[in-house]
């Protein structure tokens, strides 16, 4: 009887491992989703850091590139906004942890992760799950919340 219980437990664990996405597969899927973005906005993951690169101004005239980063393991809140045009995430930590690559010593409270495309409603839940899984794979723990969007008077 004890052997059957033990073997059942082992089989359940093996099945869970087979279904769970690896760190590499999670990184790849999340970054592939941002390929829809305008060429001025790029996201990547290097080591344990999520990066964002935005070109301000004309690319032809050598627009300024702003690079931001956030340590994935320190993310505690993932707030999202979904409209017909985009899906935007604001990642934050318990204490400011996001930074500009040119001045990593100055910590900022938030990091934006954006996907510009018309997306179906089920996509939002898949991306929410992927971002939660990403944080977990990096040793952190986060929660997803829908961002409060202030109502405009007109």
Q: In this prediction, what percent of the chain has a pLDDT beyond 70?
A: 81
Q: pLDDT tens across 58-102, in order?
A: 655 667 889 999 999 999 999 999 888 889 999 999 999 999 999
Identify whether 125 is part of a domain. Answer: yes
DSSP for 53-74 reads: EEEES-TTTTPEEEEEEEEGGG
Identify whether 15 is part of a domain. Answer: no
* Predicted confidence (pLDDT) at residue 10 exceeds the cutoff of 50: no
E strand or H helix at 45: strand 41-46
What's the CATH code of the domain at 62?
A: 2.30.29
Q: In sequence order, what are the beta bridge partners of 152?
A: none
What mean pLDDT do residues 114-143 have?
91
pLDDT at residue number 120? 75
Per-residue tokens: 13: 């664990």
Identify whether 7 is part of a domain. Answer: no
Count the domains in the chain: 1
Identify whether 8 is part of a domain. Answer: no
Which residue would you say has higher pLDDT here, 137 or 152?
137
Residue range of the domain that includes 71: 23-146
What mean pLDDT do residues 21-41 have?
87
């Amino acid at each position: 009887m004890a052997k059957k219980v033990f073997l059942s437990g082992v089989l359940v664990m093996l099945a869970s491992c087979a279904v769970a996405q690896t760190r590499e597969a999670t990184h790849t899927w999340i970054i592939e989703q941002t390929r829809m973005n305008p060429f001025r906005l790029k996201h990547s993951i290097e080591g344990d850091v999520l990066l964002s690169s935005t070109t301000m101004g004309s690319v032809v005239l050598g627009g300024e590139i702003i690079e931001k980063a956030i340590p994935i393991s320190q993310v505690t809140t993932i707030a999202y906004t979904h409209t017909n045009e985009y899906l935007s995430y604001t990642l934050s930590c318990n204490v400011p942890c996001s930074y500009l690559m040119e001045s990593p010593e100055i910590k900022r409270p938030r990091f934006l992760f954006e996907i510009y495309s018309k997306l179906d409603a089920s996509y939002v839940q898949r991306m929410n799950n992927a971002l939660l899984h990403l944080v977990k794979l990096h040793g952190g723990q986060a929660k997803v919340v829908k961002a409060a969007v202030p109502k405009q008077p007109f």
